[in-house]
Amino acid sequence: MRFMVAPCLLAVSVLGQSNPPPGPRVPAAAVQELVIPAGTKVPVALKHAISTHGTRAGDAVYAETTFPVVYNNRVLIPAGTYVQGRISQIQRGGRIKGRAQVLMHFTTLIYPSGYTVILPGAVENAPGADKTAVKDQEGTLRKDSQTGTKVGTVATTAGTGAVIGGLSQGGKGALIGAGVGGAVGTAIAMLSRGDDVKLDAGTTLELVVQRDIPVDASRVPNETRAPGSAQ
């Protein structure tokens, strides 16, 4: 019986060596995850034109990052990364009141590898937009006021009417002509629609990330520019 116990003990010893007890596991996500913090500013350039004259609510928005976003010495978004969004609201300038405005939201970030993440983003600044500024925290782009332009139209037509009236009927005619010209100028100003918001392809915007975005570090290249993008 003693001779049978020894082989059994040897077998148990070998089995224990071939199957060592599992050690503590390190979650892969804890090692690989990066976070793009809320409040991060991302400079982009539009890939197509947007206008309150021809663009409609629901239309897609396509842009591309123009400068790398770096946080704690780590590239989070390289230049040349694609950004996609959608037009949320759009309004043309009114004839009597109301300025043209457009609201867009960015929804998707597409890395060079094809890795895609949800992007809760809004326009914070529009340095490349002509006579257009950000109206509110939602990122509404609104055309500058045209009050001075319309007043100038009234004044010009009034002055022209005064000259014509004065030439034909003297001082009294000048007053009548000024009144008629002013009325015509007012009508023109009231019937003229306000200028549209126009953002040409290549217009630079600055968007802001509205919530933290967790990303997979293994799929985010630590390079300042996306491979193959234009220099």
Q: Name which residue leads in pLDDT, 96 or 51.
A: 51
pLDDT at 224: 81
121 Cβ contact list (under 8 Å, min separation 6): 42, 83, 85, 105, 106, 107, 207, 208, 209, 210
pLDDT at 197: 93
Taking the C-alpha atoms of residue 62 and residue 3, their distance in angstroms, rounded to an integer, is: 80
Q: Calculate what percentage of the chain has a pLDDT beyond 90.
A: 52
Q: Which domain holds residue 215?
A: 30-144+196-219
Instruction: Give residue-wise pLDDT tens across range 142-165.
Output: 998 754 444 444 445 445 544 454
State CA 130 to chain mean position distance.
Answer: 16
131 pLDDT exceeds 50? Answer: yes
80 pLDDT exceeds 60? Answer: yes
Do 212 and 188 sit in the same domain of this protein? no
Taking the C-alpha atoms of residue 171 and residue 147, their distance in angstroms, rounded to an integer, is: 30
Do 50 and 78 sit in the same domain of this protein? yes
pLDDT at 23: 54
Structure tokens at 162: 């005064």
Name the 3-class secondary structure at 168: helix
Do 175 and 83 sit in the same domain of this protein? no
Q: Calculate what percentage of the chain has a pLDDT beyond 70.
A: 61
How do strand 101-110 and strand 141-143 relate by DSSP bridges?
antiparallel
Taking the C-alpha atoms of residue 180 and residue 166, their distance in angstroms, rounded to an integer, is: 13
How do strand 33-36 and strand 213-216 relate by DSSP bridges?
antiparallel
Instruction: Give residue-wise pLDDT tens across range 15-65.
Output: 455 555 555 554 544 447 899 999 999 999 999 999 999 999 999 999 999
204 pLDDT exceeds 90? Answer: yes
Do 119 and 41 sit in the same domain of this protein? yes
185 pLDDT exceeds 50? Answer: no
Provide the domain count of the chain.
Answer: 2
pTM: 0.66
pLDDT at 230: 53
Which single residue is written with the structure tokens 């990303």?
Answer: 215
Phi, psi of 183 (to 5 degrees): -65, -40
Do 165 and 51 sit in the same domain of this protein? no
State the average pLDDT over residues 101-123: 96
Do 169 and 104 sit in the same domain of this protein? no
Q: What is the mean pLDDT of the chain?
A: 77
